[in-house]
Amino acid sequence: MQNGFWDDPKKAESIMQAMRKDKYWIDLYNVVVCSLDDAEVLQEFYSTGESTEEEVKKAFVIAKNQLDELEFKSTLSKEEDSLHAILEINAGAGGTESNDWAAMILRMYTMWAENNGFKVTTLDTRDGEVAGIKSVSLEIQGEFAYGQLKGENGVHRLVRISPFDSSGRRHTSFAAVFVYPVVDDTIEIDINPSDLDWDTFRASGAGGQHINKVETAVRVRHKPSGLVVECQDSRSQHGNRETALKMLKSKLYELEIQKQNKARAEIEAGKMKIEWGSQIRNYVLHPYKLVKDTRSNHETSQAQKVLDGELNPFIKSYLLHGKK
């Protein structure tokens, strides 16, 4: 590296981040090339009796799986795809039923993230009065977290026999999921302090029971955009202010991406609006078991596995469907 490279830490980190991203794609490509070469060599050995048919088939399966993975990763080529993600879950109308469904979705994404090597941090939670949650904000940290989760934006619909209904009737519940990228130090998001309205209030738990006697929770409103962010998970007001500002910057960055990226805007225009009744995915637990994505039409009868975090087939099918 040239002398003085680290004199401007922000610029240097931006260059290093770009280099790491390029190395990531080069390494992926080299893995596929090596697998294909291995399969080709084994095929030649098989023709001379030096390898078995089983060895050749195994090598080609490995090469095909790695090629499929490269094709999937190629859908994550946008600048923001490699960033960490903030995922918000909001229960729909319906009280306890929807609150419980929101908690089930929280568990589903938490298990998916942990199973795929991501770190999960809770930024803000509002508990339901009886059960479940009214809303929650998570930060999902890891390579291409946002790129993989961006297709989860929308309304998720559950059909089941309610555990809260003594008559055993079938209920339909809704919850909305919003995902946006976490801005890092290499991304400049300028916010004029005069554009912010700050409020403080007491953090509260389930049933409205106060868990703090001082106003540590914060709410910030960005006047030009109308965006509002709340945070109450930290025990200090200072910590909540920092987290709320980080979340606000991430939301503003997502808005800027949508404005600048014409190709993405066209894709977004073809999506269903995020509102009740326009769900992106249905989770049916009664009278049969089925999870189906309404955009890619990918479906499975293994509903419990999906609720246990097995979301990769849905994530991949949606991203590949969008690419086509």
> Per-residue pLDDT tens for 66-97?
888 888 888 888 878 988 999 999 999 888 99
Q: Are residues 89 and 169 in the same domain?
A: yes
175 and 274 assigned to the same domain: yes
Q: Does 35 share its domain with 115?
A: no
Whether residues 295 and 178 share a domain: the answer is yes
Q: Partners of 192 in the beta sheet?
A: none
Structural domain harbouring 117 = 79-183+265-323
**Domain end point (choices 44, 73, 102):** 73
For 159-185, write each residue's pLDDT tens digit. 999 998 888 889 999 999 999 898 766
Domain co-membership, 62 together with 88:
no
Q: Are residues 172 and 27 in the same domain?
A: no
Residues 37 and 123 in one domain: no
pLDDT band at 270 (very low <50, low <70, confident <90, very high): very low
Judge residue 72's burial from the number of C-beta atoms within 10 Å of its C-beta, 0-12 exposed, 13-18 middle, 19 or more buried.
middle
For residue 118, what pLDDT is reported?
96
Strand order in the sheet with 217-222: 196-201, 217-222, 227-231
Give domain status of residue 311, yes or no: yes
Mean per-residue pLDDT, 311-321: 93
- Out of 236, 260, 284, pick the residue that ends a domain: 260
- Does residue 188 sit within a domain? no
Domain annotation covers residue 301: yes
Residue 281 lies in a domain: yes
- Do 175 and 295 lie in one domain? The reply is yes
CATH number at residue 104: 3.30.70.1660
Report pTM. 0.71
Helix (DSSP H) and strand (DSSP E) numbers for the chain: 8, 11
Please tell me the predicted confidence (pLDDT) of residue 205: 58
- Alpha carbon 75 to chain centroid, angstroms: 15
Taken as a whole, the chain contains a residue count of 324
The reported pLDDT for the residue numbered 88 is: 94
Same domain, 285 and 318: yes
Asked if 41 and 171 sit in the same domain, the reply is no
Residue 288 confidence (pLDDT)? 95
pLDDT, tens digit (0-9, with 9 covering 90-100), for 110-120: 999 999 999 99
pLDDT band at 267 (very low <50, low <70, confident <90, very high): very low
Nearest Cα to Cα of residue 315 among 150, 197, 103, 81: 150
Give the number of domains in the chain: 3
